[in-house]
Amino acid sequence: MPVIEVSKLGKDFSAGRARVRALADVSFSVEEGQFVTLVGPSGCGKSTLLQILAGLIAATSGEARIEGERICAPMPDKIGMVFQDPTLLPWKTALANVEFPLDLRGIDRTARRKRCAALLELVGLSEFADHYPHELSGGMRQRVAIARGLAQDPRLILMDEPFAALDEQTRTRMGHDLLDIWAKTGKTVFFITHSLTEAIYLSDVVLVMSPRPGQVIDTIAIDFPRPREVDIIGSEAFGRIRNRIWHLIAEAPA
Amino acid sequence: MQWRIIKAFAIAAAAMALWEAVVRLDLVSQIILAAPSHIVLAAAQDGGVFLHAFATTSIEIGAAIVIAWTLGIVLGVVAGSSHTLAAATAPVLSSIFAIPLIILYPLLMAWLGIGPLSKVVFGVLSGFFPIALNTIDGVRAIERRYLVFARSIGATKFQTYARIIFPLALPAMISGLRVGTGLVVIGVVVTEMLASLGGIGYLISYHRTLFNTGHVYFGIMLALVMSVAVNIGLTWLDRRIGLWRMREQAEG
């Protein structure tokens, strides 16, 4: 059974008297353990799609399922989320932020502490467990947010442009480390970005989206061997795929 | 170090002596300025009465603070959580806040008598508005991403309010609490002075009409002690909250 199954999904927004079609007829599926990225220009409806998958907003037509279950509300035990902004609670330490979702579910302190300390180690922040968000760099905060997304041990992680606010070096490193985390945990990742390089470097499959209305116009399998090194970004094969996606997006009616 | 303490005491003692001398030598009328010895005398004569009044006023202020905080924060959080409710209540609250509420005190007296109840209610009225207004602002200022995050981790409504919205609004709330609590103290003492049966304000007002200047000064000192105590409490709270106000700014 696919982890994500989307069929003929549509979403309309009313803007004043007009109705805007944000998504039209979007269909795709994501298999367990895959790293799938949705790439497209700003305003193509990527975030709308992610919000529907997260159960935060409802679709107008079609349907979306997570692990076979139709989405109608957030499913915190099935989906971990990482947003563009880390959205950490400023009065809590890194460790307490990771623990927060478990804390709300009433999980015993020692059990959750042990589990969350291990997650902080996974994202490389063991030494910063007692630091407050303002004492951490942007990249570190996003690592805490990733650890927090993993806290409830969901099988699927939804990531909404998580590295978009970071500088390029940090961003590349975060991508590399994310692949490492993904390999260690075996989670399914559904990732959104507008960076073609990031999409190709990270993914098993890239879904290309065109704007107005948002539609998946191509599905591209990326078969660079894993584990991947950052060097492949400069390779000729990498450039060919990027050009191909670039033309797909550029030629779509904007 | 010790030298500094000695110096401070010496200066204070000198000031007291000068103060005493100015009154004793009749440079200033005793009705206007009581000498330190008069104040001590007043304390010795009527210390028990003043202590009792101090307790009465403290209880009134304490009760009014608890009620004003609770009402102000609850209403502020509820109104602040809804765009419509905030738009409807905030202008009304801020216009009422602009009224000199003391003009309503004769009515309160007629409804509730001149006992402690009317003091507490007036104290609450004085402090409630700035607390509610600042809380509304604090809640309105919370970014949507925090609420989206709360939903995504499956937080209940109560958890969202108690564990996310309330602490995020706290730094803004504290400035309302500072202003509001100060106004509670003023409200209680002033209404005691207007018409009442007990309390520090009552004693100050009573002894003033009898020209017992020493007693008046002693009463004023006790009222100051109360204000200072309240202020110390607020500063402590502010510092605790201020700590992560900084953190929040750093994250911003």
With a cut of 60, say whether residue A164 has pLDDT above it.
yes
Cβ contacts of A74 on chain B, cutoff 8 Å: 151-154
A87: closest chain B residue by CA: B146
Q: Are A151 and A162 in contact (CB under 8 A)?
A: no
Cβ contacts of A133 on chain B, cutoff 8 Å: 247, 250-251
Handedness of CA A1, A198, A42, A77 (dihedral sign): positive
Give CA–CA dist B4/A100, Å, rounded.
Answer: 50
A106: left (phi over 0), alpha (psi -120 to 50) or beta: left
Cβ contacts of A101 on chain B, cutoff 8 Å: 153-154
With a cut of 50, say whether residue B184 has pLDDT above it.
yes
Contact at CB, A152 and B163, closer than 8 angstroms: no
Give the distance from residue B247's alpha carbon to the nearest chain A alpha carbon, in angstroms: 5
Q: Supply the pTM of this predicted model.
A: 0.83
Q: Are B96 and B132 in contact (CB under 8 A)?
A: no
Q: What is the pLDDT of residue A96?
A: 95
Q: Read off the pLDDT band of A161 (50, 70, 90).
A: very high
Where along chain A do its domains lie?
Answer: 79-153
pLDDT tens profile B199-234: 999 999 999 999 889 999 999 999 999 999 999 998
Contact at CB, B151 and A85, closer than 8 angstroms: no
With a cut of 80, say whether residue A138 has pLDDT above it.
yes
C-alpha pair distances (Å), A32 with each of A2, A99, B118? 6, 26, 68
Q: Read off the pLDDT band of B244 (50, 70, 90).
A: low
Mean of pLDDT over chain B: 90
With a cut of 90, say whether residue A13 has pLDDT above it.
no
Look-up of token digits 């107005």: A212
Cβ contacts of A83 on chain B, cutoff 8 Å: 145, 148-149
Q: What is the pLDDT of residue B248?
A: 54
Contact at CB, A104 and B155, closer than 8 angstroms: yes
- Cβ neighbours for B94, distance < 8 A, ≥ 6 positions apart: B129, B133
With a cut of 50, say whether residue A159 has pLDDT above it.
yes
B29: burial class by Cβ within 10 Å (0-12, 13-18, 19+)? Answer: exposed
Which residue of A56, A91, A100 is in closest CB contact with B148? Answer: A56
Q: Are A145 and A178 in contact (CB under 8 A)?
A: no
Give CA–CA dist A147/A79, Å, rounded.
Answer: 13
Which residue of A74, A77, A90 is in closest CB contact with B151? Answer: A74
Mean pLDDT computed over B130-139: 94
A3 φ/ψ angles, rounded to the nearest 5 degrees: -75, -45
Give the max Cα distance, chain A: 55
Q: What is the architecture of the domain spanning B49-251?
A: Orthogonal Bundle (1.10)
Q: Read off the pLDDT band of B251 (50, 70, 90).
A: very low
A157 φ/ψ angles, rounded to the nearest 5 degrees: -115, 125
The pair of three-digit structure tokens given for residue A91, joined into one six-digit string: 């009065």
Q: Are B50 and B203 in contact (CB under 8 A)?
A: yes
- Interface predicted TM-score of the whole assembly (ipTM), two decimals: 0.91
Which residue of B148, B159, B167 is in closest CB contact with A91? Answer: B167
Where along chain B do its domains lie?
Answer: 49-251
pLDDT tens profile B27-84: 888 888 888 888 999 989 999 999 999 999 999 999 999 999 999 999 999 999 888 9
Which residue of A75, A100, A134 is in closest CB contact with B251? Answer: A134
Closest by CA to A56, choosing from B89, B147, B116, is B147
Mean pLDDT computed over A226-244: 90
